[in-house]
Chain A
């Protein structure tokens, strides 16, 4: 039944409407029947009322007749014709009731009533005779007339009235019984209707509900599968209504999802493959750079070694003219070494193979190392070179001392490089949980539009500056990466022709920040 209802090719709205209409129609039929029943019962009870009335009248007639007989007997007893007057009054009442009865009864009774009336008229004539005899004092004759004529007449009338009463009573009884039966019948019919309506409403509700719930269950199970990532299944429901359409749509969606999933998996596989290849290529590049760096360093070691030994007079005294070119060879050799180191660092950072060697260090050690290694350059350029370390900094901090030194060295050597007069100041200060290293100079400054690209690889503020001041353009970018690996940040403030201030701030305990 549920499947049949589900399979009916019409909308859910229409199905619900039909079910509702069936129940409503049943209720309407029940209502019409009850109106009809009430109507017929009221008619029958009206009939019953009328019959009841007739019985009453007939009884009144019967009573009147008895009174008349009684009054006649009284008049004879007291020998007073005045008592007869009362009989006349009683006669009026009798006639009145008889007239009403005659109007109300059916044909067979009407004939009986006519007979009663003629009997009564005859009785009245006899009563009049008796009254005359009493007035004239002929009591014996009056008594004789009474017992010989009036009394039998009254009895005959009385028996006729009695018959009418009997008939009316019987009719009333019949009516009462039929009314009772009708009442019982209508009760049964109404009860049956009510029970049928309830059953139909319940059954219809059940069938329609399940016709709607089953596809919802199916869709639910299906969607759970989808949510669990099992694409491609289809949902089948018996419904050929909106739920049927929904199921068709869901199945189509699932197929589309399965297709997309397969496609995505395929492309993910392709990507993974590509990624592996890229990683391999990247590793190959890093390995190449590391090897290259080694291969470059080995001859460079020889160049710098021989130069130093020449300078140190290991091969005998050095002619004055040779000193400068020897110093130039050494300077350029060291610069080349610096470049090689920067390229190696950067390639390792990019390959994600640069790791910090975090250990205890102190800011004052780093600052004095940097200052010591650059003092000769500052002296050469006759620049004021100062360093200040905040007392509030902890004695022991955690970080990669070698890399932090490299960062500060980069910034300070840049500052010295780009400053022609004035001075350079290195500072280490505490700012909350961070230590901030700053390098302030009175150099050429950096135009605002070039501040942004400053920390990008191979970018110097200006190509012309590169020619004048040298440098690889890698130092700041490496510095920025080391600072970020420490969980810190680097920034610069600068005014053209007034100077620049480079700052970097790293956590006092870098390994804690890195672990967090």
Chain B
């Protein structure tokens, strides 16, 4: 069976490394993008099964990127988990308004992140 693809849009190398190493133990296939524009381009080129979208990104914010993906028919139905490092009350609402499927606040526990991924996108 073809492994499910996850696109992680995040500018910080170490955070990408965590997810890379976390998913290396699983059957998921990881693709990475380092800013909002690249994330959108990657998603449109080859739509993944799930997107992990950091909010604080260079060029286009994660929320704006989420909105754009939602308005594109090719990517409109892909589940998106938004990750923010501002623990502001109202952030969850903003993520939801932008069209996010789920919301996670930094710093997240890799264990919890994996649980959320498996919940939305079963591994097999």
Q: Which residues of A contact B (CB under 8 A)?
A: 290, 293-294, 297-302, 304-306, 308-309, 312, 314-315, 337, 341, 344, 348, 355-357, 400, 402-403
Contact = CB atoms under 8 A, between A and B. Distances in A.
For the complex of A and B, list the 6 residue pairs with the smallest distance between their C-beta atoms, beginning with the closest.
A301-B107, A302-B14, A305-B18, A297-B85, A357-B89, A294-B85
A393 B102 CA distance: 32
B15 A314 contact: no
B90 interface: yes
10 contacts: A298-B12, A304-B109, A305-B15, A309-B21, A355-B89, A355-B90, A357-B90, A357-B93, A402-B89, A403-B89
B86 A290 contact: yes
A81 to B, nearest CB: 162
Contacts of A308: 109-111
B107 A300 contact: yes
B82 to A, nearest CB: 15
A400 B93 CA distance: 14
B25 interface: yes
A473 B111 CA distance: 31
A197 B15 CA distance: 111
Contact of A294 (B14, B17, B25, B86): B86
Contacts of A298: 12, 15, 85, 106
Given A302-B12, A356-B89, A357-B89, 8 more contacts: A293-B86, A298-B15, A301-B12, A301-B15, A305-B15, A309-B22, A315-B21, A357-B90
Nearest to A306: B18
Interface of B: 12, 14-15, 17-18, 21-22, 25, 56, 85-90, 93, 106-111
Contact of A301 (B22, B93, B106, B111): B106
Contacts of B108: 301, 305
Contacts, number: 64
A314 B25 contact: yes
A337 B108 CA distance: 11
Nearest to A337: B107
B95 to A, nearest CB: 14
Contacts of A344: 87
Contacts of A290: 86
B106 A297 contact: yes
Contacts of A304: 107, 109
B85 A314 contact: no
Contact of B111 (A300, A302, A312): A312
Nearest to A345: B87
Looking at chain A's contact residues, the main secondary structure is helix
Contacts of B86: 290, 293-294
Contacts of A297: 85, 106-107
A300 B85 CA distance: 10
Given A293-B86, A309-B110, A344-B87, A299 B14 contact: yes
Nearest to B55: A294
Contact of B110 (A305, A337, A402): A305
Nearest to B18: A305
Contacts of B15: 298, 301-302, 305
Contacts of A312: 110-111
B117 to A, nearest CB: 14
Nearest to A301: B107
Contacts of A356: 89
A103 to B, nearest CB: 135
B106 to A, nearest CB: 5
A356 B15 CA distance: 31
Of A301, A337, A400, A402, most B-chain CB atoms within 10 Å? A301
A28 to B, nearest CB: 95
A306 B90 CA distance: 28
Nearest to A305: B18
Given A309-B110, A312-B111, A302 B89 contact: no
A355 B93 CA distance: 13
A516 B47 CA distance: 51
Contacts of B89: 355-357, 400, 402-403
A215 to B, nearest CB: 66
Contacts of A305: 15, 18, 107-110
A301 B15 CA distance: 7
A293 B108 CA distance: 15
B107 A314 contact: no
Nearest to A294: B85
A314 B108 CA distance: 16
Identify which of A309, A315, A344 gathers the most chain B CB atoms within 10 Å of its CB: A309
A301 B85 contact: yes
Nearest to A298: B12
For B21, B22, B25, B106, which residue has the most chain A Cβ atoms within 10 angstroms?
Answer: B106
B56 A294 contact: yes
A341 B89 CA distance: 12
Taking each of B12, B18, B25, B90, which has the highest tally of chain A beta carbons within 10 Å of its own beta carbon?
B18
A96 B85 CA distance: 152
Contact of B18 (A293, A302, A400): A302
Contact of B87 (A309, A341, A357): A341
B56 to A, nearest CB: 6
A348 B89 CA distance: 11
A308 B89 CA distance: 26
Contacts of B93: 357
A163 to B, nearest CB: 140
